[in-house]
A and B are shown apart, each in its own frame.
Chain A
Amino acid sequence: MSSDRPLKKTAGWLGAASMTGRALTALVGGYASAAALSSLLARLLPGSPAEASAWGMIVSFLLFACLALWAFHERRLVYVAAVLWGSALLAGGAVMALGVRP
């Protein structure tokens, strides 16, 4: 899964566009993914809802930082985008489908 070489510099507008897309995916997509995954964790953890929400909030930033860093390690941008935006949509969709804890 992981690349064997660091990000290669691509010259010209294509390189600039790809780097912009990567940075946006890392920052916004990484946040969305971390928010959705930690919300899903909060929704699924057994026990009191306040405790579950607090665990979700506590781990969310570590998750965000690691996901965003990984976005700059993996060379295939399409794969990065698919994982970050995909997990955000899937986990976010699952949280919405489950609805607020009764």
Chain B
Amino acid sequence: MRSNLHDGSTAVRGLRQSMAWIHAWLGLLAGWILFAMFLTGTASYFRPEITRWMQPELRPAHASAVQAAQAAINHLQATSPGDQQWFIYLPDDRTAVTRVFARAKPDPAKPAPRRPELKLDPITGQPLEARDTRGGEHFYRFHFQLQLPHPWGRWLAGVCAIFMLAAIISGVITHKRIFADFFTLRWRKGQRSWLDAHNAPAVLALPFHAMITYTGLITLVAMYMPWPVQANFKQADDFTAAAYGRPAEGKASGQAAPLLPVGPMIQAAAQAWGGDPPRTIVIRNPNDAAATVTVLRTTASRLNARPDSITFSGATGQPLSKSPAPGPAISTAGVLLGLHLGHFASPALRWAGFFLGLIGAAMVGTGLVLWVVKRRKPNAPPFFGLRLVERLNIGAVACLPAGMAAFLLANRLIPADLPNRAVLEVSAMFWVWFGLAVVSLLRPVRRAWIETLGLSALAFAAIPVVNAVSTDRGLFNSLVAGDWLFVSFDLAMLVVAAFCGVGALVASRKPPASPPPPKVMVRKRKPAPVREHADAV
């Protein structure tokens, strides 16, 4: 406990007060978008798993990297051997399929349309048919593009992220009882309780919040802050080459030469990488004497998310180039990126990240509610701004979960062969989210909170039911089959439904008739008459 004298110092108190003031405004202005970024970003910890759940027709077939790569190449050799470039994304223990994308040689006479990405069976290399869906990719993309045209979504997400960073710093400065509040939760005390409900998740997961915010900015640093690169390099490409190396990929020679099997190249790369398998293989000018095979290292086993790469000659099998060993700064940036993406995380750590992300969403959500609770006068009609914020809070916090559930439900309810169904799934999320927010305007504020949160709970609880009815992979069957991904998914939906239900319950409680004045509370708790920071807001 700090001395009273120190707390009373005008400079310190001035700083606390100004930081408390800006903290409230930063949180308010960015809060609604940040809540959505937190929730969809948290879901993205399970991006491949969500995709697998959304294509229940596919069952994972396990194949080694060499087997999957060669099977994919055999398919591409049979279908389009004269292409300019093949991208092969290999499966791992989290993904069920090999994905390939082939780019044809550019033909100035008639530019070919961009080909779709294909899903291949890892063992046979044959194309797989499954319902068209954006899968986990949708939440992931929304998390930083906000469904807005490029580049506006990314810029808006960046502005919200820097607001978040400033809100964290100002929040920590504002907050002097950081360790005491770790254990403080005063239930049913009106504004006090909302302050505690905001402080507890904020303080509890502070390192996570700070880490995820800063590393989030780093993921798009090349777009947000390109100036330090421009100070040293004429072109951004030169920086990329200096930092990550430039694969020895060249133009086609026009001389035919058979593409060698990739197995030995993958094995040579694995030897250089301490046994790590590749994640991606890029083949340029296949079946040409100048063909190159670039093998990119998996990032699932290390913190640094920038993959190492080795480029081989496709005609001779000799290594041509490899990415340089990164220096301390490039490594730091790679680790920051890796911390955000979480590819390195074991299942236990990924679940920890998932719950920390939910705690972050709770921090933002309770902060938004706190803004309203602080400004509401018991015997005065709410002013326009207050009513607006109140309604936007309901729309952002209580209606988005229903929208996310609708996206998953639409996946099961829209016929699997309907054209354009992937777009319809995405529309379902936004129609339900914004539609529910608009309809909730018809209800009084308290009822609107209860009913929208209740509907969100119902929507999530419906997911396991609809899954069981519409597929043969319901909870019971999955348990019998030992299909832990589908079991976990159904259980997670029930847990999220319970969270929403608890939210509805909290909203349905009658607020205390007249909250005790804060001064009484302070005297009761501590002998020293310390002014509570947040009272200055």
Contact = CB atoms under 8 A, between A and B. Distances in A.
Interface of A: 2-7, 27, 34-36, 38-43, 47-58, 60-62, 64-66, 68-69, 72-73, 95, 98, 100-101
Interface in B213-246: 214, 217-218, 221-222, 224-225, 227-234, 239, 242-243
Given A50-B232, A50-B243, A50-B329, 7 more contacts: A5-B10, A51-B330, A53-B231, A56-B228, A58-B221, A61-B165, A72-B21
A78 to B, nearest CB: 17
A94 B109 CA distance: 49
B391 to A, nearest CB: 24
A101 B232 contact: yes
A86 B329 CA distance: 29
A64 B228 CA distance: 14
Interface stretch (B12-20, B195-203, B427-435): B12-20
Contacts of B159: 27
Contacts of A58: 218, 221, 329, 332-333, 336
Contacts of A69: 19, 22, 166, 169-170
B21 A7 contact: yes
Nearest to B9: A4
Given A2-B11, A50-B239, A65 B227 contact: no
Interface string B235-262: 0000100110000000000000000000
Contact of B242 (A40, A48, A72, A73): A48
A57 B225 contact: yes
Contact of A39 (B15, B230, B239): B230
Contacts of A57: 218, 221-222, 225, 228-229, 333
Contacts of B328: 51
A42 B232 contact: yes
Given A39-B227, A57-B333, A69-B166, A100 B232 contact: yes
B327 interface: yes
A97 to B, nearest CB: 11
Nearest to B217: A61
B462 interface: no
Tell me the dominant secondary structure on chain A's binding face: helix
B385 to A, nearest CB: 14
Tell me the dominant secondary structure on chain B's binding face: helix
B392 interface: no
B162 interface: yes
A100 B214 CA distance: 28
Interface residues on B, range: 35 or more
A98 to B, nearest CB: 8
A76 to B, nearest CB: 13
B67 to A, nearest CB: 37
Nearest to A73: B18
17 contacts: A2-B15, A3-B18, A6-B17, A39-B230, A49-B242, A53-B228, A53-B233, A56-B228, A58-B218, A58-B329, A60-B225, A61-B214, A65-B166, A66-B169, A68-B166, A100-B230, A101-B233
Contacts of A5: 10, 14, 17
A42 B231 contact: yes
B154 to A, nearest CB: 15
A64 B332 CA distance: 19
A48 B244 CA distance: 13
B302 to A, nearest CB: 18
Contacts of B169: 65-66, 69
B11 A60 contact: no
A44 B14 CA distance: 36
Given A54-B332, A58-B336, A61-B217, A100 B22 contact: no
A51 B14 contact: no
B229 A4 contact: no
Interface string B174-193: 00000000000000000000
Nearest to A100: B234
Nearest to B333: A54
Contacts of B230: 39, 100
Contact of A101 (B165, B214, B231, B333): B231
B232 A52 contact: yes
Given A7-B21, A68-B166, A2 B14 contact: yes
B228 A61 contact: no
A4 B225 contact: no
